[in-house]
Structure 1
Amino acid sequence: MKANKRTVWFLTLLSLVAVISIYYLKKEAPMDLDAMAIFGDNDKVTVSKPDVESAIKPVYADAMQFEEMRMNLMNERSTEKALLTTKMLDSALSAEDKIAAYEELNELNKQTSAEEMMEIQIRNLGFPDAFVKMEKGKVTVTVIAEDGHSSKMAAEITQYVMTSWENARTVQVEFME
Structure 2
Amino acid sequence: MLKKQTVWLLTMLSLMIVLSVYYMTSPDEGEVAFVDEDEQNQAENVNSSTENGTMTNGSVDYEGKEEVTSSLTSDQWFTAARLTIEQNRSERKEYLQEVMASGDVSAEEVNKAMNEINQLQEYSNKETLLEQTIAAKAEYPDVLVRAEDNQVRVTVKANELSKADTVEIMQLVYNEFGETNVMVNFQPYEENQ
User: Shorter-chain TM-score category?
Assistant: 0.5 to 0.7
1:109-151 deviation line (CA, Å, top 9, x unaligned) = 11111111111111111111000011111111000115x3211
1:171 maps to: 182
TM-score of the pair, normalised by structure 2: 0.57
Mapping of 1:110-125 within 5 angstroms? 110-125=122-137
Give the structure with the higher percent helix: 1
Q: What amino acid is aligned across from residue 102 of structure 2 in structure 1?
A: D
Aligned AA (2:97): T
Residue identity (%)? 29
1:94 corresponds to: 106
**Shift, 1:61, TM fit:** 2.6
Q: Are residue 160 (structure 1) and residue 172 (structure 2) matched?
A: yes
* 1:24-103 matches, cutoff 5 A: 61-103=73-115
> Which residue of the other structure, out of 112, 129, 142, is the alignment partner of 1:129?
142
Alignment: residue pair count: 116
Find the aligned partners of 2:141 and 2:76 in 1 and give their Cα distance: 13
Q: Could you tell me how far 1:99 is from its partner in structure 2? A: 1.7
| Helix, strand or coil at the partner of 2:152 | strand
Gaps of 5+ in 1: 1-59
* Structure 2 counterpart SS, 1:82: helix
Could you tell me how far apart the structure 1 residues matched to 2:184 and 2:145 are? 9
Distance across 1 between alignment mates of 2:104 and 2:176:
40
Per-residue displacement from partner, 1:72-117 (whole Å, max 9, x unpaired)?
0111101100110000000111222112211111111111111111
Paired with 1:164 and 1:92, the residues of 2 have a C-alpha distance of 37
Provide the C-alpha distance between the structure 2 equivalents of 1:162 and 1:66, rounded to a whole number of angstroms: 23
Tell me how far apart the structure 2 counterparts of residues 74 and 173 of structure 1 sit (CA, whole Å). 20
Following superposition, which runs of at least 4 residues in structure 1 exceed 2 angstroms of deviation?
none
Output one character per residue of 1:50-85: Cα deviation in whole Å (capped at 9) or x when no partner: xxxxxxxxxx93122101000001111011001100
TM-score normalized with structure 1 length:
0.62
- Distance in 2 (alpha carbons) for counterparts of 1:66 and 1:160: 20
RMSD: 1.5
Confirm whether residue 139 of structure 1 aligns to residue 142 of structure 2.
no
Whole-angstrom distance in 2 between the partners of 1:136 and 1:129: 23
